[in-house]
Structure 1
Amino acid sequence: MSDIPRLAAWRRHLVEAHARLRLALEIAQKAASDGADISDASRDLLLYCHGFCVALDGHHRGEDAMPFPALVSQHPESARVVRMLRQDHDMISMLLSRFDVGVKSAESPTTIAQHLEGIAAIMESHFRFEERELEPLLDGLELHAQPGDVLGPM
């Protein structure tokens, strides 16, 4: 079998990538809630935020670069949904930047937790919308690329 995934696998890869990102967010939230001493929480959050932020941002950049253009090309009716998803990506990127600034400037644990709650709410809404709207199209998507290059490390 080729090292390029079967075409029908894109739906599964998207769902798996979302599950990994949800887990990374949970770890960052746990680090925030466990950090009674802000210096310890900030140190842990710098580590977890960097990993989570890089993973989520990379996931969205990969989607914007590869599957979204392919979807619009192969399914022009998806253009409105893709446009909405890209707007979500921009909003999430802004929230991640604010969170990163908050962690690096040692904001209070309560404020850090609020950043994470906001990211979690938008991210979950985005993932559910993306999965619901794109799943039928992903099964037939012709995209010859490695899943990790498209959706982040597998």
Structure 2
Amino acid sequence: MTEGDTARLVAWSDELRRVHDRLREALRVTRRALDDGEPAEPAARELLLFCHGFCTALARHHEGEDRELFPAVAAAHPELRDTLRSLQQDHSMIAHLLGGLQAAVDRAAPPAELGRHLEGVAAIMESHFRHEERRLLAVLDGLPLAVDPHDVLGPL
């Protein structure tokens, strides 16, 4: 293994932290758009764009983990299969919540309703991210996965 290979292996945990931080920031921006928005059409369009971008980024992140990262972790660390199954269940729940948020945005739901949707997504997302970081970061430091990080963790 060369020095560059070691850096690439260690980078998986760094990549996951960076993506989680960017998704947390995208959620903050979306919340600010809702808090600052007025019922006027331009504010509604802006909120729609923020929500769509955030929902798409989070969904792609989880899809990449389910497709590429979790199978590689399970193969290298079978003792983590229950943890991975739990994280995938979170992905399913978050996808359901994102669908509800997107539907509310699409039908121009009142700000209070949109806020409730965002709070639900935020709560499970943060709990999920912390669990994932606690259980997987050390494992990712040594995971030999030769795949483009954007395919695994999303385009953020």
Q: State whether TM-score is above 0.5.
A: yes
Distance in 2, matches of 1:60 and 1:122, equals 13
- CA RMSD across the alignment: 1.6
Equivalent residue for 2:91? 89
Checking the alignment, whether the CA contact within 8 Å between 1:38 and 1:108 is kept in structure 2 is no
Distance in 1, matches of 2:62 and 2:89, equals 11
Equivalent residue for 2:141? 139
Shift of the alpha carbon at 1:40? 3.7
After TM superposition, the runs of 4+ consecutive aligned structure 1 residues lying more than 4 A away are none
Task: Note the residue ranges of structure 2 that are not aligned, 5 or more in a row.
Answer: none
Distance in 2, matches of 1:35 and 1:8, equals 41
Checking the alignment, whether the CA contact within 8 Å between 2:55 and 2:98 is kept in structure 1 is yes
For each residue in 1:12-55, what CA deviation from the matched residue of structure 2 results, as whole angstroms up to 9, or x when unmatched? 00000000000111111001111121534421121011110110
Task: Note the residue ranges of structure 1 that are not aligned, 5 or more in a row.
Answer: none
- Secondary structure in structure 1 of the residue aligned to 2:24: helix
Equivalent residue for 2:29? 27
Q: Which amino acid aligns with 1:141?
A: L
Distance in 2, matches of 1:38 and 1:94, equals 28
Checking the alignment, whether the CA contact within 8 Å between 1:8 and 1:138 is kept in structure 2 is yes
Aligned counterpart in structure 2 of residue 124 of structure 1, from 123, 126, 129: 126
Number of residues of Structure 1 aligned to a counterpart in Structure 2: 153
Distance in 2, matches of 1:2 and 1:39, equals 51
Shift of the alpha carbon at 1:135? 1.2
- Secondary structure in structure 2 of the residue aligned to 1:132: helix
Checking the alignment, whether the CA contact within 8 Å between 2:101 and 2:118 is kept in structure 1 is yes
Equivalent residue for 2:44? 42
Shift of the alpha carbon at 1:100? 0.3
Q: Which shifted more, 23-32 or 35-44?
A: 35-44
Q: % of aligned pairs identical? A: 51
Checking the alignment, whether the CA contact within 8 Å between 1:18 and 1:127 is kept in structure 2 is yes
For each residue in 1:63-97, what CA deviation from the matched residue of structure 2 results, as whole angstroms up to 9, or x when unmatched? 00001000000100010000000000000000000
